[in-house]
Chains A and B, each alone.
Chain A
Amino acid sequence: MKVLVVDDEPNILLSLEFLMKKQGYQVFIARNGQEALDTAFNEKPQVIILDIMMPDVDGYEVCQRIKKEKTLSNTKIIFLTAKTKEADIQKGYDAGADFYMTKPFSTRELMKKIQEYQN
């Protein structure tokens, strides 16, 4: 299974990459919104783990654009972000997210969710 991880914090990328590889997933990494869109369109991952606050295109927009793309209709998007306000969460789901997780997050819970999507 292909998983795309989008974040601009190196340590978080490192930990997520380790977790995915350990499960035997194929991991792709993007450090900003544009990179995330490019990789998503090229690789068509099943799951995308997406941060919201990024320097160029923000997570909400990335999510909306992917959800509009027909070839990516099977892709699940999980927001993983430090934005914890109720309004932000609502905005995330409005943008078309499948799941919203706030940082700091539980690695176990995240992995469980991904496994759900794999089946």
Chain B
Amino acid sequence: MAVSVLILISFGYLLLLFVIAQWAENSARKGRSLINNGWVYALSLTVYCTAWTYYGSVGHATRFGIDFLAIYIGPTLAAPLFWLVIRKMIRICKTQHITNLADFISTRYGKNIELGVLVTLLCLLGILPYIAIQLKAISVSFNILQEKSPSTNTFFLYDTSFYITLGLALFTILFGTRKVDVTERHEGIVAAIAFEAVIKLVAFCAVGIFVCWGAFDTMTEIFEKANQHKELQKLFLMNDYVAGRWFYLCSLSMLAIMLLPRQFQVTVVENVSEKHINKAIWLFPLYLLIINLFVLPIAFGGKILLGDTVDPDTFVLSVPLYLDQKFLAVIAYIGGFSAASSMLIVSTIALSVMVSNNLITPLFVKTGFFQTQDKKSWQKILIYSRRISIIFILYLAYLYFVLVASRFSLVSIGLISFVAVAQFAPSILLGIYWKGGNRVGAIAGMLLGFIVWFYTLVVPTIVEAGFLPQALLKEGFAGLVWLKPTQLFGLNGLDPLSQAFFWSMLFNFGAYMIASFWVEENAQEHNQAEIFVNIYQYSTSYESVVVWKGSAFIPDIISLMNNFLGEIRTQKALKVFAQKYQSNFDPHKMTTDPQFINYAERLLAGSLGAVSARMMIASVVREEQITKAEVVNILKQSQKLIKLNTELEKTSKALQNANAKLKKMDKLKDDFISTITHELRTPITSIKAFSEILVDNTDLEEDEQQHFLHTIIRETNRMERLISQVLDLEKLQSGNASLHFSCFNIHMLIKDCLDTLKQIVKEKNIQIDLITIEETTILEADYDRITQVMLNLLYNAIKFCNEQNGIIKIITTPNQHNQLEISVIDNGKGIDPQYHEVIFHKFYQAENQQFKKPKGSGLGLAICKQIIESHQGKIWVENLPENLTKFSFLLPLQQKMTE
């Protein structure tokens, strides 16, 4: 394929990334963040899948079978832990404005400058080769598409990958160093990364599908043929050696997914909301699963088709080319380019922030460089130091690629990087859960771990590259066999990588623990340890739990903020501070208030890094030494305060609830009174009207006069009934009604009630059926009260049953729990189920007053409920088929007698 076309495609793709990033930045400025959703977040995490995944897995699979899978199983297993570990790290970083791994570790151990430097250097050492192999992947793939063998000695100005590196550096600088405050997210970059995640997945699957169903007939065919292939055959077997390696690779990649600087960048620093973790927990492993589906088919297919003629690391490209699928090959190239470039961009940003925050800025602060410059240019200095770091890092990576990386496979260098970042595990993972770990432990552990790492993994590569004698590998250092890098201390049951991981972690962890117990931590460390471990308690009150003692002139601090944050942001920040903490904050005074100092320091940390911010603040204030006892004391107080606060919250919530309840009861009472008075008004109205008529019309006829007088009496009775019902209910509710228990036959009671109602039953022509299971059922209850209930239910049934052919059934049935159920069924209109509950409410009618004039007092059923409940019984209503309404109540049976 013509070079010019390839160059056009490469830079066209790069241009597309620029467009997407710019679009995302513009949207963010308009307040519509593209990256504020779980999908983009989860996709951005797949920056884990680099050229190693894209090209290297296939090559690895041709040699070691499914060994390649282990480093995806680790992250899949780790994903559920995100909710615990990553969420905590996010909370810590958001609270303290931490923007990179080195700041994270140095802050945890008391904002220690040496730790920051150490972590940064180790990251550079560990990650640079990893970045270099991405460049290698881009360069190799470019050459393959050109279909010419890579010329080894090209002058860099003729090397396309050099220009691509430059293009990526430009992209990273443009979208990675736009703002000084790194805590403000890189919207453009994250959007571009998420886009690249889709591209690499689609491209890889396209090649996979082509190999399975284009180059071969089915996927099964590939495996069948592989099974007969004498080299591939062996890969289907797993031996003990492989099983041990799997354990170490899984553990190693579990750590890598959380500790790689680029992963830290996308999962922690760029995170918009902790909620997005929920989606990433399942989406990220799913992505890993899909991108690995076609690794084996491509690997085996490539081996069957191409044999040993080409490097298996390039099968993704060379298989389509071999079968003359030029277009597919270009797609595959773009996919590989996106996998490599996303890693390059994010890693470079993460490392550059580290370098600038922990190496360059502290140096500037220490040497007083800032003081010699114009204050207005301080912000620019920060940005340029970050930009220079980016160029420096990419240049080093390029150099490494040209000089060294071309000699090694993608997977081997990637795994060496994994073991390097695993060395941060004790300081970070123990550091956020265990307060005991301290600065000396962290430094000792990391240093030892790295020495072991260097000796067991890096030295052998140097030997292989020919810079050191072969004897070192075969006979050990100075002829000492137990110092053989690949079998350190005579450990020979493991492969070189597993043993390196094992020894480095053992030394690292051991040194961390021993030194932490041995050396006493200082006040600052103790302070930060407490905050890191208990971050969920402190995240809202951070400024008041960082202990600080001294005095400062507020304008000094504000001018510092102005210089590094810009005046607009500083003004905004001061306003926020006044709102959040001190409404009477005066920016012109002296202060000894730690809250303000901590607030300012935290903001500066977002731009300068934790260590430099600390030093900058220290340079303008008069600080006093604090002791550990003071820290412990203040933390204890704030703990107490937090506890008191939560208790206060609880109490005030309880009070609010009680108040709401009281208000509701008050309203119910009001409603009740208004119902009652309304109910009284109706009979009084009639009484008054008829009395006036009788007084004004002395000439009434005898029977008319009688009729009016009787009406007055009837209405008076109605009032009396109502008043006694109200009093009755009140008595029952307050528990002042004493029940007079006696034993009686329930059927006698029912018959008595029916006798009382004989007259109206006859008038309304209602048919009454009494259905009983046992003739004599003895209850122990208050006879008069139960009669009251029975009469009430029967009255209602008579009132509401069908006017033409009313039927009322009374059923008594004992149940297994030694209770008797008494039901009254009528064939009226039925009751809407939504009212089944409320009709027993004394205020039911009050609540519905607007719509319906109450029939009866509205107290009958409420009284029944009170009576039945004071007998430990239950009353309810249900609808039966054919519009039947069934009111039932349960009463405990005292005894059952059978004659």
Which of A42-50, A68-76, A92-100, A104-112 is near enough to bind chain B? Answer: A104-112
* Chain B neighbourhood of A105, CB < 8 A: 685, 688-689
C-alpha gap A11/B715 in the complex (Å): 9
Q: Does B787 contact A (CB under 8 A)?
A: no
Q: Does B308 contact A (CB under 8 A)?
A: no
Q: Does B817 contact A (CB under 8 A)?
A: no
Establish whether residues B853 and A108, one from each chain, have CB atoms under 8 Å apart when the complex forms.
Answer: no
Establish whether residues A14 and B853, one from each chain, have CB atoms under 8 Å apart when the complex forms.
Answer: no
Establish whether residues B689 and A53, one from each chain, have CB atoms under 8 Å apart when the complex forms.
Answer: no
* Chain A neighbourhood of B697, CB < 8 A: 22
Q: Give 1 or 0 for each of B686-720: 1 = CB within 8 Å of chain A CB.
A: 11111011001100000000000001000100000
Q: Which of B434-457 contact A (CB under 8 A)?
A: none
* Chain A neighbourhood of B850, CB < 8 A: 53, 58
Closest approach, in angstroms, between the C-beta of B846 and any C-beta of chain A? 12
CB within 8 Å for A9 and B682 given contacts A14-B711, A53-B849, A55-B853: yes
Closest approach, in angstroms, between the C-beta of B682 and any C-beta of chain A? 6
Q: Which of A1-52 contact B (CB under 8 A)?
A: 8-9, 11-12, 14-16, 18-19, 22
Query: Which of A18, A55, A104 interacts with B688 by CB under 8 Å?
Result: A104
Establish whether residues B678 and A18, one from each chain, have CB atoms under 8 Å apart when the complex forms.
Answer: no
Chain A residue nearest to B852 in the complex (CB)? A55
C-alpha gap A26/B681 in the complex (Å): 28
Query: Which of A8, A15, A82 interacts with B690 by CB under 8 Å?
Result: A15
Q: Give 1 or 0 for each of A52-65: 1 = CB within 8 Å of chain B CB.
A: 01110010000000
Q: Interface centre among A15, A54, A55, A105, by most B CB within 10 Å?
A: A15
Q: Give 1 or 0 for each of B840-853: 1 = CB within 8 Å of chain A CB.
A: 00000000011111
* Chain A neighbourhood of B849, CB < 8 A: 53
* Chain A neighbourhood of B682, CB < 8 A: 9, 12, 82, 103
* Chain B neighbourhood of A18, CB < 8 A: 693
Q: Which of B777-835 contact A (CB under 8 A)?
A: none
* Chain B neighbourhood of A15, CB < 8 A: 686, 689-690, 693
Query: Which of A8, A12, A54, A55 interacts with B689 by CB under 8 Å?
Result: A12
* Chain A neighbourhood of B692, CB < 8 A: 106-108
Q: Interface centre among A12, A18, A108, by most B CB within 10 Å?
A: A18
Q: Does B170 contact A (CB under 8 A)?
A: no
Chain B residue nearest to A18 in the complex (CB)? B693
Q: Does B121 contact A (CB under 8 A)?
A: no
C-alpha gap A18/B678 in the complex (Å): 24
Closest approach, in angstroms, between the C-beta of B883 and any C-beta of chain A? 20
Closest approach, in angstroms, between the C-beta of A29 and any C-beta of chain B? 15
Establish whether residues A107 and B681, one from each chain, have CB atoms under 8 Å apart when the complex forms.
Answer: no
Q: Does B684 contact A (CB under 8 A)?
A: yes
Task: Give the size category of B's interface with A.
Answer: 20 to 34
Q: Which of B57-97 contact A (CB under 8 A)?
A: none
Closest approach, in angstroms, between the C-beta of A14 and any C-beta of chain B? 7
C-alpha gap A18/B697 in the complex (Å): 11
Closest approach, in angstroms, between the C-beta of A114 and any C-beta of chain B? 14
* Chain A neighbourhood of B685, CB < 8 A: 9, 12, 82, 103-105
C-alpha gap A44/B776 in the complex (Å): 65
Establish whether residues B693 and A11, one from each chain, have CB atoms under 8 Å apart when the complex forms.
Answer: no
Closest approach, in angstroms, between the C-beta of A18 and any C-beta of chain B? 6
* Chain A neighbourhood of B693, CB < 8 A: 15, 18-19, 107
C-alpha gap A103/B689 in the complex (Å): 10
Give chain B's interface secondary structure class: helix
Query: Which of B678, B686, B696, B851 interacts with A12 by CB under 8 Å?
Result: B686
C-alpha gap A105/B682 in the complex (Å): 11
Establish whether residues B678 and A82, one from each chain, have CB atoms under 8 Å apart when the complex forms.
Answer: yes
CB within 8 Å for A11 and B684 given contacts A18-B693, A107-B696, A108-B696: no
* Chain A neighbourhood of B687, CB < 8 A: 104
C-alpha gap A8/B687 in the complex (Å): 16
Chain A residue nearest to B712 in the complex (CB)? A11
Closest approach, in angstroms, between the C-beta of A51 and any C-beta of chain B? 9
Closest approach, in angstroms, between the C-beta of A74 and any C-beta of chain B? 27
* Chain B neighbourhood of A53, CB < 8 A: 849-850, 853
Closest approach, in angstroms, between the C-beta of B444 and any C-beta of chain A? 81
CB within 8 Å for A82 and B681 given contacts A11-B711, A12-B686, A104-B688: yes
C-alpha gap A104/B687 in the complex (Å): 9
Closest approach, in angstroms, between the C-beta of A106 and any C-beta of chain B? 7
C-alpha gap A8/B685 in the complex (Å): 13
C-alpha gap A87/B710 in the complex (Å): 36
Chain B residue nearest to A80 in the complex (CB)? B685
* Chain B neighbourhood of A16, CB < 8 A: 689
* Chain A neighbourhood of B696, CB < 8 A: 107-108
Query: Which of A11, A22, A54 interacts with B853 by CB under 8 Å?
Result: A54
Closest approach, in angstroms, between the C-beta of A55 and any C-beta of chain B? 6
Closest approach, in angstroms, between the C-beta of A57 and any C-beta of chain B? 11
Closest approach, in angstroms, between the C-beta of A8 and any C-beta of chain B? 6
C-alpha gap A22/B693 in the complex (Å): 11
C-alpha gap A103/B677 in the complex (Å): 11
Establish whether residues B681 and A103, one from each chain, have CB atoms under 8 Å apart when the complex forms.
Answer: yes
C-alpha gap A103/B687 in the complex (Å): 11
Chain B residue nearest to A103 in the complex (CB)? B685
Chain A residue nearest to B681 in the complex (CB)? A82
Chain A residue nearest to B700 in the complex (CB)? A18
C-alpha gap A103/B686 in the complex (Å): 9
* Chain B neighbourhood of A9, CB < 8 A: 682, 685-686
* Chain B neighbourhood of A103, CB < 8 A: 681-682, 684-685
Q: Interface centre among A11, A19, A22, A58, by most B CB within 10 Å?
A: A11
* Chain A neighbourhood of B688, CB < 8 A: 104-106
CB within 8 Å for A107 and B689 given contacts A11-B711, A22-B697: yes
Closest approach, in angstroms, between the C-beta of A10 and any C-beta of chain B? 9
* Chain B neighbourhood of A106, CB < 8 A: 688, 692
Q: Interface centre among B684, B692, B693, B711, by most A CB within 10 Å?
A: B692
* Chain B neighbourhood of A108, CB < 8 A: 692, 696
Closest approach, in angstroms, between the C-beta of A104 and any C-beta of chain B? 4
* Chain A neighbourhood of B853, CB < 8 A: 8, 53-55
C-alpha gap A107/B708 in the complex (Å): 15
Closest approach, in angstroms, between the C-beta of A112 and any C-beta of chain B? 12
Closest approach, in angstroms, between the C-beta of A23 and any C-beta of chain B? 12
* Chain B neighbourhood of A8, CB < 8 A: 853
Chain A residue nearest to B689 in the complex (CB)? A15
Query: Which of B684, B711, B851 interacts with A104 by CB under 8 Å?
Result: B684
Q: Give 1 or 0 for each of B652-686: 1 = CB within 8 Å of chain A CB.
A: 00000000000000000000000000100110111
Listed in ascending order, the chain B residues whose CB lies under 8 Å from chain A are: 678, 681-682, 684-690, 692-693, 696-697, 711, 715, 849-853
Q: Can you name 12 A-B pairs with beta carbons within 8 Å?
A: A8-B853, A9-B685, A12-B682, A12-B689, A18-B693, A55-B853, A104-B684, A105-B688, A106-B688, A107-B689, A107-B692, A108-B696
- 19 additional A-B residue pairs with CB within 8 Å, beyond A15-B693, A82-B681: A8-B853, A9-B682, A11-B686, A12-B686, A12-B689, A15-B690, A53-B849, A58-B850, A82-B682, A82-B685, A103-B681, A103-B684, A104-B685, A104-B688, A104-B689, A105-B685, A105-B688, A107-B689, A107-B693
